[in-house]
Structure 1
Amino acid sequence: MRLELRRGSLVLAVLARLRVEQYGYSLRVALAQDGLEMEESTLYPLLRRLEGQGLLVSEWREEEKRRKRFYRLSPEGEAVLVRLHAEWRRISDSLERIL
């Protein structure tokens, strides 16, 4: 059940963090610092799925003599983030009243 609860919140957290461009590892570190640790085997498929849905854009660049794939929100991703954040607030408020 814990995994079910985390699944939707991870999508919201990734979208929110990618308002600022990051590459996969830096995103993973930032999420972990926020208390949302995520395995690479979870993060990278999620990034590919979100990009496939048009919510993210990415590009390969060389940084520190290594090729890294940088991700950021697309305009559609920004709009979806606003809607998901509003829905998150409604759900959170309801659960707080219930709990």
Structure 2
Amino acid sequence: MSLGVDNVSNVNDHLDKLMQELRRGTLTIGVLSQLSEPQYGYSLVTMLGDKGIHVEPGTLYPLLRRLEKQGLLDSKWDTNESRPRKYYLLSKTGKEVYCLLVGEWMGIVDSLNHVIQQKGEEENGAD
């Protein structure tokens, strides 16, 4: 089956939008997973990137502020260095929410894996 240039472009547009939605939905749990120890924004960008989760600072910083406002993160400024840095750490509530999110995430992944595997078996059986 051959896809025309217009169709490939259309598929790529849809894929880009869906991937953006998927990343946005999973970024919170990825960020929370890295904050059992204090981290500042750039260190989080680097840590997540090293683990295959690429995030732009312009996406991360608003998320950190929102999570802090929601009471999931504590923060403090370190002004001892030449450049002040705001460090973030999971709050007590943040730790509890993170643990619950991980449980939910594992359930979702298990369910999706089952659905995808079942669909693959149905398609292979139809040959």
TM-score scaled by length of structure 1? 0.96
**Which structure features the higher share of helix residues?**
2
Which residues in structure 2 correspond to 1:2-81 (within 5 Å)? 2-81=19-98
Bigger relative contact order, structure 1 or 2 (CA pairs below 8 A, ≥6 apart): 1
**Cα-Cα RMSD:** 0.8
AA at the equivalent of 2:48: L
AA at the equivalent of 2:56: E
Number of equivalences: 99
CA distances 1:11-58 after superposition (whole Å, capped 9, x unpaired): 000001011110110011000000011011100000000000000011
- Give % identity: 48
Indicate the structure (1 or 2) with the bigger Cα radius of gyration. 2
Following TM superposition, the consecutive aligned residue runs of length 4 or more in structure 1 with deviations greater than 2 angstroms are: none
Any unmatched runs of 5+ in structure 1? Answer: none
1:91 corresponds to: 108
TM-score scaled by length of structure 2? 0.76
**Which structure features the higher share of strand residues?**
1
Any unmatched runs of 5+ in structure 2? Answer: 1-17, 117-127
